[in-house]
Structure 1
């Protein structure tokens, strides 16, 4: 049986909250501007600069408005930008359960200040986390090994005793290379995650 974990790193998007950019941003694209999906792909290709802090939120909104042919206000854009989320409710009791076991919980996400401010204000699940590593704060994005090392050093994590949940295979691959105990999470396969967690904890996670 593996050693009882002492910490857990949680990705946010598609682990704690569902993310659908088209849900929020497609309505911003005027009908005469063409296919919203094409416009969104162009915009999302630029998101790395926002998520590593190389451009400010206001600068990004200006860029995004041009990409989407959006002529409305910055406030309207921010509202749409933050409307892409929906809770992954099945995961939230697991967070509380792990906290009750004394496991150190750390958010570990490629994100930006607009999204994080909104998420922390609106979803109570984030109150259970004692640590945060956000790409826009440290200037690094997953799957760069440097951001994993930053998390390990900042929160004094022991990799072989640290669980790591993420939805993207490339991020999981780096996590494994760093010695973390990883699970690639898929909402439609939540039962597989529970089975994995039972084994990792050596007890039912229900």
Structure 2
């Protein structure tokens, strides 16, 4: 199999893992970890339920819920380990402050594109600050959920990415650290790559794209 297109998530693929960033934020802001995990479990289950239930995560990602309102709702549900309130303003900035770029994955994109592979970013945004100054170098297309009013795992957002690449689904691979999103892409005929670490993902992509990426 030799594919011609590569679609990639951002947070947790081109950055250090989400769990690491969240762990650093919980420690820095002295957040009660059990309380945080309880609310996130509830909100994420609803966001991926597919039964018409809309959670704050869903609204944040597709742009229908403003960042400030999401921060207010989340802060309302959180407490510090000492029981104090959590500041809402800037909550998401603090939450993702420990995100760091994963250079081997950036190198994968550069080498793939140099070999003629068309590339696209497909990211569910949480009000993140993206390295937009690198987009022209790395991507032929960029799809950020809150900017297009769609979110993964909705089929329409994958279709939008495919249209930007001007490629059929069977000619493209999709990388994500959330398995639910990978399976959604596969249902459309896209080749899914569940990202766990840079080396494993690069090795799998070398098989799929037929080029050296490391």
Q: TM-score range by the shorter chain?
A: 0.7 to 0.9
Change (3 A) 1:144 1:193: same
Post-superposition CA distance 1:59-93 (Å, at most 9, x none): 12222222224454724x35413314122232121
User: Structure 1: which 4+ aligned runs deviate by more than 6 Å?
Assistant: none
Alpha-carbon distance in structure 2 between the residues aligned to 1:61 and 1:142: 21
**Equivalent position SS for 1:119:** coil
Consecutive unaligned residues in structure 1, runs of 5 or more: none
TM-score (norm 2): 0.76
On the 8 A contact 2:63/2:149 being kept in 1, the answer is: yes
Give the Å deviation of 1:40: 4.7
Hey, what does 2:51 align to over in structure 1? none
1:95 aligns with 2:97: no
Cα separation, 1, equivalents of 2:136 and 2:194: 20
Check whether the contact 1:8–1:106 (CA below 8 A) recurs between aligned residues. yes
Pairing 1:119–2:130 present: yes
Residues 26, 40 of structure 1: 8 Å contact kept: no
Write out per-residue CA displacement over residues 68-127 of structure 1, whole angstroms, 9 at most, x where no aligned residue. 24454724x354133141222321211110121122211112223x20xx2225x84784
> 2:36 is matched with which residue?
39
Give the TM-score normalised by the residue count of structure 1. Answer: 0.79
Residues in 2 aligned to 1:125 and 1:133: alpha-carbon distance in whole angstroms: 11
- Superposed, 1:153-192 pairs within 5 Å as 153-187=163-197, 190-192=198-200
Provide closer, same or farther for how the CA distance between residues 72 and 174 of structure 1 changes in structure 2, counting only shifts above 3 A.
Answer: closer
Q: Confirm or deny that 1:51 pairs with 2:61.
A: yes
2:110–2:138 contact (8 Å) kept in structure 1 = yes
Match of 2:147 in 1: 137
Residues 96/52 of structure 1: CA separation in 2 closer, same or farther (3 Å cut): same
In 2, Cα distance between the equivalents of 1:37 and 1:92? Answer: 34
Partner of 1:87: helix, strand, or coil? Answer: coil
Q: What does the per-residue CA deviation read over 1:163-204, in whole Å, with 9 as the maximum and x for residues that have no partner?
A: 2111222222121221112211111xx443333222223233
Residue in 2 that maps onto 1:104: 118
CA RMSD of aligned residues (A): 2.6
What's the secondary structure of 1:92's corresponding residue?
Answer: helix
For residues 22 and 39 of structure 1, the distance between their equivalents in structure 2, rounded to whole angstroms, comes to 11
Secondary structure of the structure 2 residue equivalent to 1:99: helix
Q: Distance in 2 between matches of 1:29 and 1:167?
A: 27
Partner of 1:64: 74
1-side partners of 2:158 and 2:190: how far apart?
10
